Structure 1
Amino acid sequence: MLRFWAMMGGAALLVAPIAAAASETPMAAPAQKQRLIVLSDIEADPDDTQSFTRLLLYASEIDLEGLIATTSVHMKTAIHPDSIRRILHAYGKVQPNLALHETGYPGADRLLALVRDGQPGYGMAMVGAGKDTAGSRLIIAALERTDPRPLWVTAWGGVNTLAQALYTIREMRSPAEAKRLITKLRVYTISDQDDSGAWIRRTFPDVFFIVSPGGYGAGTWTGINTLIDGADNTTISNTWLREHIQQGHGPLGAVYPDVAYGMEGDTPSWLSLIPNGLSVPDHPDWGGWGGRYEYYTPPIATVDPSGFSNVPIEPETRPIWTNAIDSYMPWQQREYGRAQTPSDRQIKDFRAGIWRWRDDFQNDFAARMMWTTEPFAHANHPPAVKLSTPERITVKSGQRFVLSAIDSTDPDGDSLSFQWFHYAEVGHWRTVIPNGIAANIHTVDFTAPKVTEPREAHFIVRVSDKGSPPLTRYARVIVTITP
């Protein structure tokens, strides 16, 4: 297939080849998946059922290793594992159709075998000698499994089942073995919904822990369902959910409940585990669909100490991965001239690390729900982003450099749109580095700023197809700028 060079403003631009005809072969699941155990206070709020519904659509791309029913501050004396099983039975009815679109979807029976009971009561009162449960034992077994990958545990409610697992490891394993197991652990809790999260952070200071402590008003995760002032919030509306998720989308869509308090508040805990080319789970500061987080000890005054959590707030005793401020200007579609341009409105907020991607992951959700009922040829599938330049490059101060994603393709043969930008909050250079030509073409150029010591800057390309709904994937180029 021929390509040719065109010259524009001194930048060498590759002209994209004609897309190949769409295939009806299922896409391959990613070779490297993140391991995940979910702790859920399902039935305390319909949003856990919502989050499970979405999670199962990505069961081909995340290795689920445990689905544990827990309590929380909102449901202190009951657990509901049968509610998890109900959703899995609905998933089982659509799993064969999902497998037409992507390989790797596990059978419902395998997932049903992962459901466990967690601690049957509230908080640290249910942690201690002789209080192991099927859920806490499953966590220990997963940590002890011979697998070099880290183990993610996300808590959608209380986290005392994980606290019990860590208590048992501390008491029953050697210090060296306990340290080895804890090193494998990655924790994300949706705020603190019992008193055991603070205990874990205080007692096990080496645990990798992402949390927005304190009241829910300080939670990065709220970016999934809070309105962006002055922006189009259509994709989180009840009308959108009804049309794209709940109604006319088979058994799995039918179990997705109406919003009671907030849509899918728990989903950000695992969104960054999806291999979309943007997220790097062990680097929460790099940003992704689940938000962006920085490593520091948050002052208690910044954690919404009077907010709605009903859990005593303790001063943090060590650094954690927590809220980070992003500043971005939403892109807008234009009817004439340049197809996409940034708006003139800048948003700066700790929730903006989720807001900037929200339409992308909502459209992805809608497309995967279509996979539950439609054949491959009647549904949309995400583009494959391919850089024509290395993922890491080094340039000198003042040097012009070119980044390209011209070799990106789409499995459905759709036309592609491109957006390049410097993610200024990530890396060591916080002043936006503008591109030299239009940012919405496949190949762009930047000029490195003057530096007195090496600085790292991250550049993102956002590639979207023109299918229905439009789907987006990404690539990241890390540029080291030297004097």
Structure 2
Amino acid sequence: MKLICVSAIKSVLIVIVSAIFCTYAFGEQQPEIKNRVFVLTDIEADPDDAQTLVRFLLYSNQFDVEGLVATTSVHQKGMVAPETIHQIIDAYAKVHNNLLLHEPGYPTAEYLRSVVRAGLPIYGMNGVGKNKDSEGSRLLINAIEKDDSRPLWISVWGGANTLAQALYTLQQQTSPQQLAQLISKLRVYTISDQDDSAAWIRKTFPDLFYIVSPGGYGAATWLGMNMYIEGIDNTSVSNPWIANNIQQNHGPLGQQYPDVAYGMEGDTPAWLNLIRNGLNVPEQPNFGGWGGRYEYYIPDINATDPDGFTGGVPIEQETRPIWTNATDTFLLPRRNEFGRSVSASEQHFSGYRETLWRWRDDFQNDFAARMDWTVFDYAHANHPPEPRLRHEQHLKVKSGDYFSLDARNSQDPDGDSMEFYWFNYAEAGSMPASPVAIQSAENMARVAVVAPEVSKPETLHFILRLTDRGTPALTRYKRVVVTVVPK
């Protein structure tokens, strides 16, 4: 893949975000902070937005949901459908009390209804400009201007012109300094470019944090959500799995999950990285997580499937760095009938979609468990295990040193047996070409590692994947970042 080099920018950014991560994310006792989330959805353009909203509501206790706005897109140019959002919230209202049996913090249906709005029923940049504010863009402006130090995550499942209009209005009404301050609080994750306002946003506001796979859909990371992968078990995204685990015998919210038409939940990756699972670090897309892994650079237009399907949205050469496609090499874990219960196999896959689908069975099982929460009491449902370390999440060692990764304090709230699996997530660290092997069996609670020889400080990311043996089996993680320095 040919890239336009922005190594200086990238290096500075990595240093800054690494410092933030080490102070913010590594304390075992740090209180969990809810992410602020604002959703733009072209619901009814394709059943997948309704599917995504059903899943989103099952995790709404982990977010502060500040907007659910129905929009247009290239696939639905002349209408918006807030009534469908309300319909799904009505089903959520019927299961709200049961969800609270399993985890606290689920917002009331009344609150969620209060933040539903409509964007203009106009496509793309035709809906951006003077006197083109909508109830949706005004609500978004209120969220942007809110006196809250937390970032605002704008999760875009369709066209982005409601965001474009909000930024246009703020540009007209605030000073450059005020606008820059407001933009610094925004985090945008869009599922491809589904209207022509997205490219305008990135060019007009070059400092805006923006995650996207621009260009044709064939070059999109988010396809790892639902595509068939040759050589692996794809059961968890199959129609029978969806019917048995989500739609049928799972109450009123499950009944709102429509059949797959073009692809299952193509929009869900736009917020999966916000779930608190021990792996996700939303502020650092290069660390990887359930929504995929992304790096900060200017992609060459020729690498973005410029002749592929976009629905008619023009493809332009990016003029600024964005968070976009990154490549992982994923060694498929192997469960063994005898001997070591789980180990790394020799079967490997490389690509940008791999950064997402490598976690797919885990997040699908998590979805199924939460759907169970809508109909079962606590004793008859499964809940995720709790990985706990016997050391800090940030370690410093010297080249050649032995060190241990120890999660023997881990627990499961249901008393289930647990499966441990440790691995080096090489691409998330500073030595992506040199994965570091676990020196002992990877499936022990406590494992040994030998620090590699380095000539300058390097970072290594080790991931504990802890899976219970409940039904469905649920997974949580611990990420340990090891800084290796020369002797």
Measure the CA separation in 2 of the matches of 1:401 and 1:146: 44
TM superposition shift of 1:101 = 0.4
The one-letter amino acid paired with 1:131 is K
Which residue pairs with 2:457 in the alignment? 454
Which residue pairs with 2:484 in the alignment? 481
Which residue pairs with 2:21 in the alignment? none
Which residue pairs with 1:327 in the alignment? 329
- After superposition, residues 279-318 of structure 1 pair within 5 angstroms as 279-309=280-310, 310-318=312-320
The one-letter amino acid paired with 2:463 is I
Which residue pairs with 2:224 in the alignment? 223
TM superposition shift of 1:317 = 0.1
Among candidates 467, 474, 479, match of residue 471 of structure 1: 474
Pair 1:338-2:340 in alignment: yes
**Secondary structure, counterpart of 1:345 in structure 2:** strand
TM superposition shift of 1:160 = 0.3
Between 404-413 and 258-267, the greater mean CA deviation after superposition: 404-413
The one-letter amino acid paired with 1:225 is N
Which residue pairs with 2:7 in the alignment? none
More helix by share: 2
- After superposition, residues 269-284 of structure 1 pair within 5 angstroms as 269-284=270-285
**Secondary structure, counterpart of 2:472 in structure 1:** coil
What is the CA RMSD across the aligned residues, in angstroms?
0.7
Pair 1:44-2:35 in alignment: no
TM superposition shift of 1:31 = 3.8
Which residue pairs with 1:32 in the alignment? 33
Measure the CA separation in 1 of the matches of 2:319 and 2:126: 21
Between 303-312 and 203-212, the greater mean CA deviation after superposition: 303-312
- After superposition, residues 169-180 of structure 1 pair within 5 angstroms as 169-180=170-181
TM superposition shift of 1:105 = 0.5
Pair 1:95-2:96 in alignment: yes
Which residue pairs with 1:354 in the alignment? 356
- After superposition, residues 62-461 of structure 1 pair within 5 angstroms as 62-309=63-310, 310-430=312-432, 431-461=434-464
TM superposition shift of 1:343 = 2.2
The one-letter amino acid paired with 1:191 is S
Q: Deviations over 1:31-71 (max 9, x none)?
A: 41111011000000000000000000001111111000000
Structure 2: segments with no counterpart, 5+ residues: 1-30
The one-letter amino acid paired with 1:70 is T
The one-letter amino acid paired with 2:406 is S
Between 37-46 and 337-346, the greater mean CA deviation after superposition: 337-346
TM superposition shift of 1:300 = 0.2
Measure the CA separation in 1 of the matches of 2:95 and 2:431: 47
TM superposition shift of 1:335 = 1.1
Aligned length: 454
Measure the CA separation in 1 of the matches of 2:155 and 2:72: 14
- How high is the TM-score relative to the length of structure 1? 0.93
TM superposition shift of 1:194 = 0.4
The one-letter amino acid paired with 2:161 is N
TM superposition shift of 1:355 = 1.3
Q: Deviations over 1:219-238 (max 9, x none)?
A: 10110001111100000000
Q: Deviations over 1:198-221 (max 9, x none)?
A: 001000000000000011111101
Dislocated runs of 4+, deviation >6 Å: none
Structure 1: segments with no counterpart, 5+ residues: 1-29
Measure the CA separation in 2 of the matches of 1:223 and 1:343: 21
TM superposition shift of 1:381 = 0.2
Measure the CA separation in 1 of the matches of 2:321 and 2:425: 24
The one-letter amino acid paired with 2:388 is K
**Secondary structure, counterpart of 1:417 in structure 2:** strand
The one-letter amino acid paired with 1:337 is G
Measure the CA separation in 2 of the matches of 1:462 and 1:98: 25
The one-letter amino acid paired with 1:193 is Q
